[in-house]
Structure 1
Amino acid sequence: MPDLDAQRDAILAALVPVAEGIAATFGAVCEVVVHDYRRPEKSVVAVAGSVTGRAVGGAMSEIGMRVLARGDEARDELNYLTRTGDGRLLKSSTMVLRDSTGTVFGALCVNVDAGAVQQAHALLGALAGTGETVQAPVTTFGNDIDSVVDAILDAHRLRRHQSWAGLDRAGRVELFRSLDEHGVFAVRRAIEQVAARLGISRASAYNYLSQARAATGPACEGARP
């Protein structure tokens, strides 16, 4: 039986110079991040370049949580657009890392600041008499996992334009189902954080999560009483 932790550590270590090489090739607009999903709250093990302000020991973003929630069914997500909290447009790719058993345990992420490209596009559009705004979801890139969970909660509330009190039972179960699909409950203490933000008890939060999972099956096994 191979020592899987040692194998995973070796893969992560081997990717550090790869990350540095990619970032050096593309210059200041590029950032490469190596994630170890065995520690969601401190998943960042290496950073080359600086686009999102990530730091070693920082937390994963909503994108990482989504990958984590999919488990071994996760697939690479390539050339997608997202936007930082301060409005900068990024073109990103997330490539999952697997050990010899096929288990997903991390990711190599590339973020390119596409702001300069967007500005050039807007200028050319203005000169040509046309204009087009690139729409992309806002992603919280934080070194604190609590801020990432809060951002996901806030996004859900904004999409629904309703408070917790304004949701019926089906809406509340659906909220917990969606949060679970996004990998929120893979994070330690997330159930307590969600309960506090919604103004409900920890027991009630577990109850709604159980109802959501009973209807659709567990997205992840991170939240347990």
Structure 2
Amino acid sequence: MIAQEVKRPAKIEDIKAHGKRSFTAHDKALLKRYELVAETVSAMFGEACEAVVHSLEDLGESIVKIVNGHVTGRVMGSPITDLGLHVLNSAYKSKEDIVGPYYSKSTSGKPLKSTTMVIRNDEGLPIGFLCLNFDLSVPFHQILREFSPSMDTPHSGETFAPDVMNLVAQAVADEIEASSHITGVSATLKNRTIVATLEDKGIFEIKGSVELVASELGLTKHTIYKYLREMRQE
């Protein structure tokens, strides 16, 4: 859907026509989960990306979570937009829950690339929206800076393995490599330290990991289980 909509508040009479709905505790809890999604998306894409959670319980104060509200100038408790009302009407007639991406403008004239997702409850009724609005007026170099690591950015060393056992094998290989630079320590202590580190990383939560780790370290699975048992008793 490509449109040039202005993100303006819906008319009072249009909001009143929909009235207020009574949400269940489960509906409210479901919407609450999307607040964390909004924070996560904005953390990923930076200050140019506004993320908004709308509750359809009260359209006059529909925004229950907004991150980077400077993009459209809205705040908590702001009403649904005119486009939001259109999406709401369509949501009752269609099961198409992703609207966009489409192009819109803030009331101050900023060009935006936007996407709206309909949030439904267990009965399939629309109870909210997750809306993303990216400010296209932000200079490219500023956007690039958001995606470039700084000296303070932590590097997790995350492994993207094609399957779970490759993940285990890579974790073992990394620890063997790290321990290879340590001198004056017995092989038994090195192996025990490797097993302890893998335990801290949650590797042994994976089915079949004990056998693979044992094979890579040249130990029996009984030795691995012994190390784990002793560690868990400490």
- TM-score, structure 2 normalization: 0.47
Which protein has greater RCO, CA pairs closer than 8 Å, 6+ apart?
Answer: 1
The structure with more radius of gyration: 2
